[in-house]
Copies of this chain bind each other. A is one copy, B any other.
Amino acid sequence: MKLATVGSVAFDAIETPFGKTDKIVGGAGTYIALASSFFVKEQSLISVVGEDFPQDVLAELSSKGVDINGVEVKQGEKTFFWSGRYHNDLNTRDTLVTELNVLADFKPVVPVNAQNASFLMLGNLSPDVQLSVIQQMKQRPQLIAMDTMNFWMDIALDSLKETLKHIDVLIINDEEARQLSGVYSLRKAAKIIREMGPSILIIKKGEHGALLFHEQHIFYAPALPLEEVFDPTGAGDTFAGGFMGYLAAAERIDFDNMKRAIIAGSALASFCVEKFGTQRLKEITMADIQARMQEFVSLSTFQL
Protein backbone atom coordinates (compact mmCIF):
# COMPACT_ATOMS: atom_id res chain seq x y z
CA MET A 1 0.00 0.00 0.00
CA LYS A 2 1.41 3.38 -1.02
CA LEU A 3 -0.45 5.70 1.31
CA ALA A 4 -2.52 5.32 4.46
CA THR A 5 -4.53 8.21 5.86
CA VAL A 6 -6.34 8.56 9.14
CA GLY A 7 -8.82 11.38 9.35
CA SER A 8 -12.44 12.29 9.95
CA VAL A 9 -15.20 11.50 7.50
CA ALA A 10 -18.01 13.82 8.38
CA PHE A 11 -21.05 15.89 7.62
CA ASP A 12 -20.59 19.66 7.32
CA ALA A 13 -23.17 22.42 7.05
CA ILE A 14 -21.50 25.54 5.72
CA GLU A 15 -22.53 29.16 5.42
CA THR A 16 -20.43 31.60 3.39
CA PRO A 17 -21.27 35.07 2.09
CA PHE A 18 -22.22 33.29 -1.15
CA GLY A 19 -24.74 30.80 0.17
CA LYS A 20 -25.30 27.94 2.52
CA THR A 21 -25.46 24.16 2.36
CA ASP A 22 -27.48 21.51 4.13
CA LYS A 23 -25.48 18.60 5.50
CA ILE A 24 -22.85 17.75 2.92
CA VAL A 25 -20.00 15.26 3.10
CA GLY A 26 -16.74 16.62 4.46
CA GLY A 27 -14.04 15.72 6.94
CA ALA A 28 -10.25 15.81 6.76
CA GLY A 29 -9.98 12.18 5.71
CA THR A 30 -12.41 12.70 2.84
CA TYR A 31 -10.53 15.72 1.44
CA ILE A 32 -7.11 14.12 1.90
CA ALA A 33 -8.15 10.89 0.17
CA LEU A 34 -9.89 12.69 -2.69
CA ALA A 35 -6.92 14.99 -3.31
CA SER A 36 -4.28 12.28 -3.10
CA SER A 37 -6.34 9.96 -5.33
CA PHE A 38 -5.29 12.04 -8.33
CA PHE A 39 -1.71 10.84 -7.84
CA VAL A 40 -1.97 7.59 -5.87
CA LYS A 41 -4.06 4.77 -7.27
CA GLU A 42 -3.77 2.57 -4.20
CA GLN A 43 -4.37 3.98 -0.74
CA SER A 44 -6.15 3.22 2.50
CA LEU A 45 -8.47 5.47 4.47
CA ILE A 46 -8.89 4.84 8.19
CA SER A 47 -11.89 6.53 9.77
CA VAL A 48 -15.27 6.03 11.41
CA VAL A 49 -18.83 6.98 10.40
CA GLY A 50 -22.31 6.37 11.73
CA GLU A 51 -25.05 4.33 10.11
CA ASP A 52 -26.45 7.59 8.71
CA PHE A 53 -23.51 7.93 6.34
CA PRO A 54 -24.37 7.41 2.66
CA GLN A 55 -22.90 4.20 1.25
CA ASP A 56 -22.54 5.70 -2.22
CA VAL A 57 -19.98 8.23 -0.95
CA LEU A 58 -17.77 5.43 0.32
CA ALA A 59 -18.34 3.55 -2.94
CA GLU A 60 -17.21 6.63 -4.85
CA LEU A 61 -13.99 6.85 -2.84
CA SER A 62 -13.51 3.16 -3.47
CA SER A 63 -13.83 3.72 -7.22
CA LYS A 64 -10.95 6.19 -6.98
CA GLY A 65 -8.62 3.55 -5.53
CA VAL A 66 -9.30 4.32 -1.87
CA ASP A 67 -9.49 1.13 0.18
CA ILE A 68 -12.30 1.80 2.67
CA ASN A 69 -11.89 -1.36 4.77
CA GLY A 70 -10.46 0.89 7.45
CA VAL A 71 -13.62 3.02 7.60
CA GLU A 72 -15.64 1.58 10.47
CA VAL A 73 -19.41 1.97 10.21
CA LYS A 74 -20.92 2.14 13.70
CA GLN A 75 -24.48 0.87 13.72
CA GLY A 76 -26.92 2.84 15.84
CA GLU A 77 -24.61 5.86 15.93
CA LYS A 78 -24.32 9.11 14.04
CA THR A 79 -21.54 10.57 11.89
CA PHE A 80 -19.44 13.50 13.15
CA PHE A 81 -21.18 16.77 12.28
CA TRP A 82 -19.71 20.26 12.07
CA SER A 83 -21.48 23.43 11.13
CA GLY A 84 -19.83 26.83 10.64
CA ARG A 85 -20.36 30.28 9.25
CA TYR A 86 -17.58 32.13 7.45
CA HIS A 87 -17.18 35.87 7.84
CA ASN A 88 -17.07 38.21 4.88
CA ASP A 89 -13.30 37.96 4.47
CA LEU A 90 -13.57 34.13 4.45
CA ASN A 91 -10.44 33.98 6.59
CA THR A 92 -12.31 33.64 9.87
CA ARG A 93 -15.33 31.60 10.84
CA ASP A 94 -17.63 30.82 13.73
CA THR A 95 -18.35 27.24 14.64
CA LEU A 96 -22.13 26.91 15.06
CA VAL A 97 -22.41 23.21 15.92
CA THR A 98 -19.95 20.45 16.73
CA GLU A 99 -21.47 16.99 17.30
CA LEU A 100 -18.60 14.55 17.80
CA ASN A 101 -20.87 11.48 17.70
CA VAL A 102 -18.80 8.49 16.48
CA LEU A 103 -15.61 10.56 16.65
CA ALA A 104 -15.89 10.92 20.44
CA ASP A 105 -14.30 7.54 21.16
CA PHE A 106 -12.63 6.92 17.79
CA LYS A 107 -9.95 4.24 18.16
CA PRO A 108 -8.62 3.75 14.67
CA VAL A 109 -7.65 0.24 13.64
CA VAL A 110 -5.16 0.10 10.79
CA PRO A 111 -6.17 -2.73 8.43
CA VAL A 112 -3.49 -5.36 7.85
CA ASN A 113 -2.96 -4.33 4.22
CA ALA A 114 -2.32 -0.72 5.30
CA GLN A 115 0.17 -1.56 8.04
CA ASN A 116 3.02 -1.58 5.54
CA ALA A 117 2.08 1.68 3.80
CA SER A 118 5.16 3.63 2.80
CA PHE A 119 3.45 6.99 3.33
CA LEU A 120 1.31 7.80 6.34
CA MET A 121 -0.86 10.91 6.66
CA LEU A 122 -2.29 11.73 10.08
CA GLY A 123 -5.23 14.11 9.68
CA ASN A 124 -6.12 16.50 12.49
CA LEU A 125 -7.15 14.31 15.45
CA SER A 126 -6.04 14.02 19.07
CA PRO A 127 -2.27 13.48 19.17
CA ASP A 128 -2.79 10.27 21.17
CA VAL A 129 -5.00 8.87 18.43
CA GLN A 130 -2.42 9.93 15.84
CA LEU A 131 0.34 8.17 17.80
CA SER A 132 -1.74 5.00 18.13
CA VAL A 133 -1.87 4.82 14.34
CA ILE A 134 1.90 5.15 14.01
CA GLN A 135 2.32 2.36 16.56
CA GLN A 136 0.15 0.01 14.51
CA MET A 137 2.43 0.21 11.48
CA LYS A 138 4.42 -2.99 10.87
CA GLN A 139 7.42 -1.05 9.63
CA ARG A 140 8.35 2.61 9.93
CA PRO A 141 6.78 4.33 6.90
CA GLN A 142 9.16 6.15 4.58
CA LEU A 143 7.37 9.41 5.42
CA ILE A 144 4.91 10.29 8.19
CA ALA A 145 3.09 13.61 7.92
CA MET A 146 0.60 15.12 10.32
CA ASP A 147 -1.77 18.02 10.74
CA THR A 148 -2.82 19.42 14.10
CA MET A 149 -4.55 22.54 15.45
CA ASN A 150 -4.54 25.13 18.27
CA PHE A 151 -7.12 23.09 20.19
CA TRP A 152 -4.62 20.26 20.84
CA MET A 153 -1.92 22.77 21.81
CA ASP A 154 -4.34 24.15 24.39
CA ILE A 155 -5.51 20.88 25.93
CA ALA A 156 -2.95 18.18 25.04
CA LEU A 157 0.41 19.85 24.51
CA ASP A 158 2.46 17.08 26.13
CA SER A 159 0.82 14.39 24.02
CA LEU A 160 1.29 16.55 20.94
CA LYS A 161 5.00 16.97 21.68
CA GLU A 162 5.33 13.20 22.11
CA THR A 163 3.66 12.49 18.77
CA LEU A 164 5.83 15.13 17.06
CA LYS A 165 8.91 13.04 17.94
CA HIS A 166 7.66 10.26 15.69
CA ILE A 167 6.85 12.12 12.50
CA ASP A 168 8.71 13.63 9.54
CA VAL A 169 6.43 16.40 8.23
CA LEU A 170 4.27 18.77 10.23
CA ILE A 171 1.69 20.71 8.21
CA ILE A 172 0.15 23.63 10.14
CA ASN A 173 -0.87 27.22 9.54
CA ASP A 174 1.03 30.35 10.56
CA GLU A 175 -1.09 31.02 13.64
CA GLU A 176 -0.56 27.45 14.84
CA ALA A 177 3.19 27.65 14.19
CA ARG A 178 3.36 30.81 16.30
CA GLN A 179 1.39 29.22 19.14
CA LEU A 180 3.37 25.97 19.09
CA SER A 181 6.75 27.73 19.07
CA GLY A 182 5.86 30.72 21.21
CA VAL A 183 7.59 33.10 18.79
CA TYR A 184 6.24 35.41 16.08
CA SER A 185 8.96 35.14 13.43
CA LEU A 186 8.09 32.14 11.26
CA ARG A 187 11.74 31.55 10.54
CA LYS A 188 12.50 31.27 14.25
CA ALA A 189 9.31 29.28 14.80
CA ALA A 190 10.42 26.79 12.16
CA LYS A 191 13.71 26.23 13.94
CA ILE A 192 12.02 25.63 17.28
CA ILE A 193 9.34 23.32 15.87
CA ARG A 194 11.80 21.25 13.86
CA GLU A 195 13.77 20.68 17.05
CA MET A 196 10.61 19.06 18.45
CA GLY A 197 10.86 16.24 15.92
CA PRO A 198 9.72 16.82 12.35
CA SER A 199 12.62 17.39 9.95
CA ILE A 200 10.22 18.97 7.48
CA LEU A 201 7.82 21.77 8.33
CA ILE A 202 5.16 23.25 6.08
CA ILE A 203 3.52 26.47 7.24
CA LYS A 204 0.31 27.24 5.36
CA LYS A 205 -0.54 30.92 5.01
CA GLY A 206 -3.87 30.67 3.17
CA GLU A 207 -4.10 33.35 0.48
CA HIS A 208 -0.42 34.12 1.11
CA GLY A 209 0.91 30.73 0.05
CA ALA A 210 3.00 28.32 2.07
CA LEU A 211 6.52 27.98 3.44
CA LEU A 212 8.51 24.75 3.36
CA PHE A 213 11.45 24.32 5.72
CA HIS A 214 13.89 21.41 5.38
CA GLU A 215 17.53 21.25 6.39
CA GLN A 216 18.98 24.65 5.49
CA HIS A 217 16.47 25.18 2.68
CA ILE A 218 13.38 27.37 2.57
CA PHE A 219 10.83 27.37 -0.24
CA TYR A 220 8.14 30.04 -0.53
CA ALA A 221 5.21 28.66 -2.52
CA PRO A 222 2.90 31.38 -3.81
CA ALA A 223 -0.87 31.15 -3.66
CA LEU A 224 -2.83 31.79 -6.82
CA PRO A 225 -4.67 35.11 -6.46
CA LEU A 226 -8.27 33.99 -6.98
CA GLU A 227 -11.19 36.04 -8.27
CA GLU A 228 -13.26 34.66 -5.44
CA VAL A 229 -12.96 32.15 -2.63
CA PHE A 230 -16.37 30.50 -2.50
CA ASP A 231 -15.88 28.09 0.42
CA PRO A 232 -12.53 27.54 2.15
CA THR A 233 -13.69 24.38 3.96
CA GLY A 234 -11.28 21.52 3.37
CA ALA A 235 -8.64 23.60 1.57
CA GLY A 236 -5.95 22.76 4.14
CA ASP A 237 -6.72 19.03 4.03
CA THR A 238 -6.85 19.10 0.25
CA PHE A 239 -3.42 20.76 0.26
CA ALA A 240 -2.05 18.06 2.56
CA GLY A 241 -3.62 15.30 0.47
CA GLY A 242 -2.19 16.72 -2.74
CA PHE A 243 1.23 17.07 -1.12
CA MET A 244 1.32 13.50 0.20
CA GLY A 245 -0.26 12.00 -2.91
CA TYR A 246 2.25 13.71 -5.18
CA LEU A 247 5.23 12.63 -3.05
CA ALA A 248 3.96 9.06 -2.67
CA ALA A 249 3.60 8.80 -6.44
CA ALA A 250 7.02 10.37 -7.01
CA GLU A 251 8.56 8.09 -4.38
CA ARG A 252 11.78 10.11 -4.23
CA ILE A 253 11.60 12.48 -1.25
CA ASP A 254 14.08 15.21 -2.07
CA PHE A 255 13.67 18.97 -1.78
CA ASP A 256 12.85 19.42 -5.49
CA ASN A 257 10.04 16.87 -5.28
CA MET A 258 8.78 18.37 -2.03
CA LYS A 259 8.53 21.73 -3.80
CA ARG A 260 6.57 20.16 -6.67
CA ALA A 261 4.36 18.38 -4.14
CA ILE A 262 3.54 21.69 -2.48
CA ILE A 263 2.61 23.19 -5.83
CA ALA A 264 0.40 20.16 -6.47
CA GLY A 265 -1.26 20.62 -3.09
CA SER A 266 -1.68 24.36 -3.68
CA ALA A 267 -3.22 23.76 -7.11
CA LEU A 268 -5.70 21.26 -5.67
CA ALA A 269 -6.58 23.60 -2.79
CA SER A 270 -7.18 26.43 -5.27
CA PHE A 271 -9.80 24.25 -6.98
CA CYS A 272 -11.30 23.12 -3.68
CA VAL A 273 -12.32 26.64 -2.64
CA GLU A 274 -14.16 27.34 -5.92
CA LYS A 275 -17.33 25.49 -4.87
CA PHE A 276 -18.95 24.12 -1.71
CA GLY A 277 -17.39 21.09 -0.05
CA THR A 278 -15.80 18.42 -2.22
CA GLN A 279 -17.83 19.33 -5.30
CA ARG A 280 -15.04 20.90 -7.33
CA LEU A 281 -12.57 18.13 -6.48
CA LYS A 282 -14.98 15.65 -8.05
CA GLU A 283 -15.26 17.62 -11.30
CA ILE A 284 -11.63 18.29 -12.14
CA THR A 285 -9.31 16.10 -14.16
CA MET A 286 -5.58 15.49 -14.04
CA ALA A 287 -5.27 17.83 -17.03
CA ASP A 288 -6.96 20.61 -15.04
CA ILE A 289 -4.49 20.09 -12.20
CA GLN A 290 -1.50 20.13 -14.53
CA ALA A 291 -2.72 23.31 -16.20
CA ARG A 292 -3.15 24.98 -12.83
CA MET A 293 0.30 23.87 -11.69
CA GLN A 294 1.63 25.62 -14.79
CA GLU A 295 -0.16 28.79 -13.65
CA PHE A 296 1.95 28.64 -10.49
CA VAL A 297 5.06 28.53 -12.65
CA SER A 298 4.17 31.66 -14.59
CA LEU A 299 2.99 33.35 -11.40
CA SER A 300 6.31 33.01 -9.59
CA THR A 301 9.03 32.61 -12.20
CA PHE A 302 11.59 35.36 -12.66
CA GLN A 303 15.20 35.51 -13.73
CA LEU A 304 17.83 37.92 -12.53
Q: Which residues of A contact B (CB under 8 A)?
A: 88-90, 184-188, 190, 205, 207-209, 211, 217-223, 225-229, 256, 259-260, 263, 293-294, 297-304
Taking the closest CB of chain B, its distance from the CB of A246, in whole angstroms, is 11
Residues of B with C-beta under 8 A to A228? 185, 188
- Does B227 contact A302, Cβ atoms closer than 8 Å? no
- Does A304 contact B297, Cβ atoms closer than 8 Å? yes
A184 to B89, CA, bound (A): 7
Query: Most B CB atoms within 10 A — which of A89, A217, A298, A302?
Result: A302
- Does A302 contact B226, Cβ atoms closer than 8 Å? no
- Does B299 contact A227, Cβ atoms closer than 8 Å? no
Residues of B with C-beta under 8 A to A188? 227-228
Choose one: B205, B211, B260, B302; the contact of A302 (CB below 8 Å).
B260
Choose one: B209, B293, B301; the contact of A208 (CB below 8 Å).
B209
Given contacts A88-B184, A208-B205, contact A293 B304 (CB under 8 A): yes
Residues of B with C-beta under 8 A to A205? 208
Closest to A225 in B: B187
Query: Most B CB atoms within 10 A — which of A221, A256, A294, A300?
Result: A300
Residues of B with C-beta under 8 A to A221? 302
Taking the closest CB of chain B, its distance from the CB of A275, in whole angstroms, is 16
A187 to B229, CA, bound (A): 11
Closest to A223 in B: B220
Given contacts A187-B227, A228-B188, contact A263 B299 (CB under 8 A): no
- Does A219 contact B88, Cβ atoms closer than 8 Å? no
- Does A211 contact B185, Cβ atoms closer than 8 Å? no
Residues of B with C-beta under 8 A to A300? 219-220, 222, 300, 302
A88 to B298, CA, bound (A): 36
Choose one: B220, B229, B298, B304; the contact of A222 (CB below 8 Å).
B220
Taking the closest CB of chain B, its distance from the CB of A256, in whole angstroms, is 7
